[in-house]
Chains A and B, each alone.
Chain A
């Protein structure tokens, strides 16, 4: 599977490492080259500097042939915009988008975007741990 990941933070870099180790073809995007230090030393994929809300950058990252796109930058709105470009402009079959704000996450999932809110998930886990 060919995957494009936008955002090389802890989650993006970790995911890139996992997918790469499983033999998937991974391209990871970040606006700051310094972020790529988080990638594992054995990472065999492509690290590309650029902003994923820019169509040209996405094309360069191979979005047109990608099977999946994941948006995990720090900015909810950036993730939402990039994910919608991937889904509606480039017709990427699988698009997943991180949205911290639970209300925005709810809205965009009703609009048909596959979204994850780490805020609600983590709060729920903490609650369960506390109550067990």
Chain B
């Protein structure tokens, strides 16, 4: 997806929301941590300790250069290495829809982490629905790729995601729904599945 403008603090708005959810001094695993921006920010502002997981070699070097702990591995392979409840939070931003089995990945995330922070593009947004009604796969600010070259293979709506959480007995502790500039609004609160473009969840496993 395209990255929205950064906040005045220099952080992407969705990452700013996530960092507010994280208790100071926590242990964190950031899956697909990119160049380590979030972990770097959290280390500086909330004294968290943690690791990023990243598959891209250039990003791994960027993390190392800024002093962010990073483990080069893909998500499925990498999570197996961590003990149960090794982290207070495991963060997965805008990647869920690209995984082979999002349900299994979330189960594994909630094994490794006490809590999970998950963000994804909402496939129920009106712009998506409108384009499907016109008979074409949607192209939107949060879903900019063509159907044939998109990494997204398991897109879901806000309602779909919450149904999965209920079925798996995952408690949603917090939810934040944003538009594509990653801001909240009245319309989103009134009809979230129609107006939210980006969904952020804080989950815990009840079982």
Whether both chains belong to one complex is answered with no
Binding site for A on B (CB under 8 A): none
